[in-house]
Copies of this chain bind each other. A is one copy, B any other.
Amino acid sequence: MARPVTLFTGQWADLPLETLAERAGGWGFDGLELACWGDHFEVDRALAEPDYAPGRVEILERHGLRCLALGAHLVGQAVCDPIDERHRAILPPDVWGDGDPEGVRRRAAERMQDTARAAARLGVTQVNGFTGSPVWHLLYSFPPNDFDAVERGYEEFAERWGPIIDVFDQEGVRFGLEVHPTEIAYDFVTTRKTLEAIARRDAFGINLDPSHFAHQFLDPAAFVEEFADRVYHVHVKDSRRRLDGRRSILASHLNFGEAQRGWDFVSPGHGDVDFEEFFRALNRIGYAGPLSIEWEDSGMDREWGAQDALAFVRRTDFEPSAVAFDAAMQRDG
C-alpha cells in the first residue's frame, strides 16, 4: 500500500540524528518517528530555539525522510506511575528533579503538554507514548484486590491526562497511547475502560503495536476492528512465544534476550504476529498513516534487522482491492 514506512528512533538514540538519518535514508525508509530523548528531538529546545524544529526537518529532508510522528514514551510513563528508581534512569534530570513522586508526575505532565506544543512547531500532528498506570502493580489479585481501587485508578488517569489532552486539542495534535503492559491500557478490556474514562475524546487515541498482543494471546486484527476509530498510528514490531512447559509466559523476571523467557521481542516477521490479518484489518478500516518499525530483537544485529524489517513490510503491506473479483463475470441487468 501507499502507506509510508518509518523507523522509530527510540532504540537508536545512541546515534546522533544526523548519522541515523543518513543510514535510514540509505536503507529506503520514508521517514522517522523521532524519539523525544537522546538528541533526536528535544522538546525544551524546540520550544526555546526557533531554529531547532526546522533544523530537525532539514536533517531529515537531506536524506529523503519525513517526520510523521513523535515518540514521547519515557516522560509519559511518569505521569500516572508510582515513581521509583527506574524512572530516574529514563527521565530528563529536570523532570526527575528531587524525585518526589508527586512532583515527578506533575513535571512529567507539564512536559507532555510541552511535547504537544513542540510537535506543532515541527509540523507533526501525532505524538505517541505511554501513560503510566496507578494500578498496574495490582495485576495479580493477591492479596485480594479491592476492585474499587482499580476503578479509582482509571479515574486518576483521567484526571491527570485530561489537562494534557486539553493542550493537544489546542495545538491540533493527537496523542496515541501505545497499548502495552505497564500502561493504563494493555488489552481489550482495559482499552475499553481507558477510552471510557477519558470520555472518548478525539485527541486521545491509540498507537497500535501488535507485539504486545502476541504474548497475551490477543488478536491484533480483532483489536483494529473494535477500536477502528481510535487507531491513530501503528508500530510494526513482533514477538515470539517460546513455551516448552518450563518457560513461563510471565517471563520469570528475566531480561529480554534471556534464553529461559517464555516470550521475547523479535524483528518483524520472525514472530507470532499474523501481519497478513493485521494489514488486511488496517486496509478494511482505511488506515492510511505510517507503519513505523520499532525495532527490538535481542538476538539480531540491529542494522541487519532494520533492513530485513523494511523489506518485510514492503512485501507484506499490499493495497486493498478496488473492485469485486466476480464483477467481471456478470453483465448489467
Contacts and interface: CB of A to CB of B under 8 A. Distances in A.
Interface of A: 10-14, 37-38, 74, 77, 85-90, 135-147, 149-150, 180-182, 186-190, 215-219, 222, 225, 242-257, 259-260, 262, 265, 270, 276-277, 280-281, 283-284, 295-302, 304-305, 308, 318-331, 333
Q: Which secondary structure dominates chain A's binding surface?
A: loop
A74 B147 CA distance: 19
A329 B90 contact: yes
A245 B248 contact: no
Contacts of A247: 188-189, 217-218
Contact of A253 (B138, B218, B219, B249): B138
Contacts of A14: 323, 327-328
Given A244-B244, A318-B308, A140 B181 contact: yes
A267 to B, nearest CB: 8
A293 to B, nearest CB: 12
Given A10-B329, A188-B248, A257 B324 contact: yes
A262 B216 contact: yes
Nearest to A143: B86
Contact of A74 (B140, B259, B329): B329
B218 A188 contact: no
Contacts of A283: 299
Contacts of A243: 217
A262 B144 contact: no
A218 B325 CA distance: 24
Contacts of A139: 139, 250-251, 253
A223 to B, nearest CB: 8
16 contacts: A37-B329, A38-B328, A89-B146, A141-B255, A144-B329, A150-B253, A187-B252, A222-B245, A222-B246, A255-B324, A256-B325, A296-B325, A296-B326, A301-B319, A301-B320, A304-B319
